[in-house]
C-alpha cells in the first residue's frame, strides 16, 4: 500500500498569520516526487496518481532537476499541441515537451519563507496565477537547490477550506478569507 505525500505531511491546522514554513513541503523531510524528462507524459500522470501529488520535478538523465510538470500541464492542451507541432502521436509526447523549465518557475528563497506567513504565500501564488511555487536555498557548495514546494491545494487543506472536486482554487487572499469565513 502506498501513501501520498499528503498522508506523510504532518497536516497541522494553520491560519493566515501562521508561519509560512508550516505549509511548505520540505524536501529535506519528504522525498521529492520526480519523473524523467524522457518519460511519456501519460506515465507522469500515473506517477502523480500513485504519489497523490499534482506537481512532479522533472529530471534529466543525470538526475538534475530541469523543470516541473503539473497535472494541468498534462491534462490540458500542451500534450496535444506538442504532438501536433512535432508530428507525433499523443502517446509519443514526453514530459520534456510539456514541462515548465526551472527558469520559468516562480521561486522564493528559504530565508524569506522563514520570515513570511501563510497569507504572504497565498498572495504570492495569487499574483503569479500559479498553483505551486518552489522554495530555493543555497547549498554549501554555492549551488542553488530546491528546498521545498508550496501548493495552493495543500495550503487550502491545512486552512480547512473545502475544495470541491474540479473547483477552481481561490486566486487571491480575499477569496481565501471569504472561504474561511463561510
Tell me which residue has cell 487543506.
157
Given this model, what pLDDT does residue 162 score? Answer: 56
pLDDT above 70 (res 166): no
Local confidence band at 178 (pLDDT 50, 70, 90 cut-offs): low
Consecutive H or E run containing 127: helix 118-128
Superfamily of domain 14-181: CBS-domain (3.10.580.10)
pLDDT 10s digits, 29-43: 998 899 999 999 999
pLDDT above 80 (res 71): yes
pLDDT above 70 (res 109): yes
Local confidence band at 123 (pLDDT 50, 70, 90 cut-offs): confident
Q: Could you count the other beta carbons within 10 Å of the beta carbon of residue 179?
A: 16
31-35, 85-89, 117-121, 170-174: the lowest-pLDDT one: 170-174
Given this model, what pLDDT does residue 11 score? Answer: 63
* Backbone phi, psi, residue 4, to 5°: -85, 165
What distance in Å separates the CA atoms of residue 84 and residue 70, rounded to the nearest whole number?
A: 20
In DSSP notation, 65-123 reads EEEEEEHHHHHSSHHHHHHHHHT--GGG-BHHHHPEEGGGS-EEEHHHHTT-BHHHHHH
pLDDT above 80 (res 115): yes
Q: How far is CA 121 from the centre of its chain?
A: 13
Given this model, what pLDDT does residue 177 score? Answer: 53
What distance in Å separates the CA atoms of residue 59 and residue 109, rounded to the nearest whole number?
A: 21
Given this model, what pLDDT does residue 126 score? Answer: 83
pLDDT 10s digits, 93-106: 999 999 999 888 87
pLDDT above 90 (res 170): no
Amino acid at each position: 500500500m502506498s501513501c501520498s505525500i499528503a498522508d506523510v505531511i504532518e497536516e497541522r491546522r494553520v491560519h493566515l498569520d501562521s508561519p509560512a514554513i508550516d505549509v511548505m513541503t520540505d524536501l529535506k523531510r519528504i522525498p521529492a516526487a520526480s519523473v524523467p524528462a524522457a518519460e511519456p507524459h501519460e506515465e507522469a500522470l500515473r506517477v502523480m496518481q500513485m504519489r497523490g501529488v499534482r506537481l512532479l520535478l522533472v529530471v534529466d538523465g543525470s538526475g538534475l532537476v530541469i523543470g516541473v510538470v503539473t497535472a494541468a500541464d498534462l491534462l490540458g492542451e500542451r500534450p496535444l499541441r506538442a504532438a501536433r507541432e512535432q508530428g507525433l502521436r499523443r502517446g509519443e509526447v514526453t514530459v520534456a515537451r510539456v514541462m515548465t523549465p526551472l527558469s520559468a518557475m516562480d521561486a522564493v528563497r528559504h530565508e524569506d519563507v522563514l520570515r513570511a506567513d501563510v497569507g504572504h504565500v497565498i498572495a504570492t501564488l495569487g499574483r503569479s496565477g500559479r498553483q505551486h511555487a518552489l522554495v530555493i536555498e543555497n547549498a554549501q557548495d554555492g549551488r542553488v537547490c530546491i528546498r521545498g514546494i508550496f501548493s495552493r491545494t495543500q495550503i487550502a487543506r491545512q486552512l480547512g477550506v473545502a475544495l470541491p472536486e474540479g473547483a477552481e482554487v481561490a486566486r487571491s487572499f480575499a477569496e481565501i478569507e471569504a472561504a474561511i469565513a463561510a
